[in-house]
Amino acid sequence: MKVLVDDVGSFPLLRGISKDAFARVYPKALRMCAEGKSPLEDEAVAENFYKPVAASLASKVSSGLDVINYPQHYDMHKQFLEPIAAFQEEPFLVEKKYAVIPELRVVEKEASKYGKLMLKVCVTGPIELHLRTDFGYHIYEEILLNLAESVNRFLRNSMLSTNHVETVAVAIDEPSLGFVDLLNIEEDALVRALEASVEGIAARVQIHLHTLKSAHIPLQAEGIDIITGEFAASPMNMDILTKKTLDEHDKYLRAGVSRTNIDSIIGELVERGAEPEPEMLVEDEETIRKRYEEVLSRYSDRVVFAGPDCGLGSWPSQGVARLLLERTVRAVKSLSQ
């Protein structure tokens, strides 16, 4: 099975594009798309939302990725919690009409420029979303399941299939799973919520975890068939999840093989007395290739996707973020021919 190179999603805005301006028009862009309007119909939305997303898509395409996650420039929690709160048919359950990711309308319109795009859709998972509600760490199963149904509605509305773009993968982002104490709720309830969030999704389904300490939870979930391991910044993850475990559960792996923890990278360079020039922030291809080689030696045919550990939204520029994608693509493909 060919290993596909994908990315996690978040990406820096082009220099000169205001994050504040993007954030201000984002809710309006969502409403317009949900109500059947083009984001190009409004001058402010076109200038501060459509054009930046289109530019970031072009940058990602140029990196050589096999599967491209739509460019995420908005806060990963607000992106879903805001429409859930504004357009709910019952508490924490978003109306189907408004369960949209407006960036996908940009991708759909721009895709013809690139032949045929294989698309990935990252959404923030129900556990992570619950942790950002007023109830925080006290998990209520009814709320969790409504959030899971909301996530499912966002995903169902994201299944693009046209002459120029196909949604081939989705990812549930659960960065806190394994880091926080969720003992007030049974693990079975967490499994049910994960299953509900991806029910009926006709694409390869990943779950993005920042640590694999709680990987046993999604391993039990039907509908999730790919576990993401961040192996670049956290190589100990390879000791937590084994190929034998993946075989036993018939699950596959998305391997993070290039570092994206930018604050740590800059800190390490400063400690060495180096002035962090942009290219120094990105690992060289040989380092990435050797890490990927180690992943293949451990997991062999269980690896189906590989790419950067995490998103690149906090990186200093789009140029250096694209360089990381390019080096990752070349390193992986050098061993995947």
Would the pLDDT of 330 be above 80? Answer: yes
pLDDT tens readout for residues 29-67: 999 999 999 999 999 999 999 999 999 999 999 999 999
pLDDT reported for residue 272: 85
Contacts 24+ apart (CB under 8 A), 133-137: 133/81, 133/92, 137/180, 137/181, 137/182, 137/184
Question: Lowest-confidence range among 8-22, 82-96, 97-111, 241-255?
Answer: 8-22
For β-strands 67-69 and 117-124, DSSP reports them as parallel
Average pLDDT over residues 252-258: 98
Average predicted confidence (pLDDT) for the chain = 95
pLDDT the model gives residue 336: 72
> Which helix H or strand E contains 77, and what residues bound it?
none
pLDDT tens for 126-138 read: 999 999 999 888 8
274: pLDDT strictly greater than 60: yes
d(CA 324, CA 278): 10
Give the C-alpha separation, 214 to 302, whole Å: 19
Domains of the chain: 4-334 (3.20.20.210)
127 with 193: CB under 8 angstroms? yes
**C-alpha 49: how far from chain center:** 19
> 3-state class of 55 per DSSP?
helix
- What per-residue confidence (pLDDT) applies to 277? 79
| Residue 337 pLDDT exceeds 70 | no
- Spatial distance between the Cα atoms of 145 and 127, rounded to a whole number of angstroms: 9
CB within 8 A of 9, min separation 6: which ones? 69, 70, 71, 72, 120, 122, 171, 173, 311
- pLDDT tens, position by position, 145-199: 999 999 999 999 999 999 999 999 999 999 999 887 666 889 999 999 999 999 9
Amino acid 51: pLDDT: 97
Amino acid sitting at position 261: N
CA distances from 116 to 71, 108, 129, 246 (A): 17, 11, 32, 32
> In the chain, pLDDT over 70 holds for what percent of residues?
99
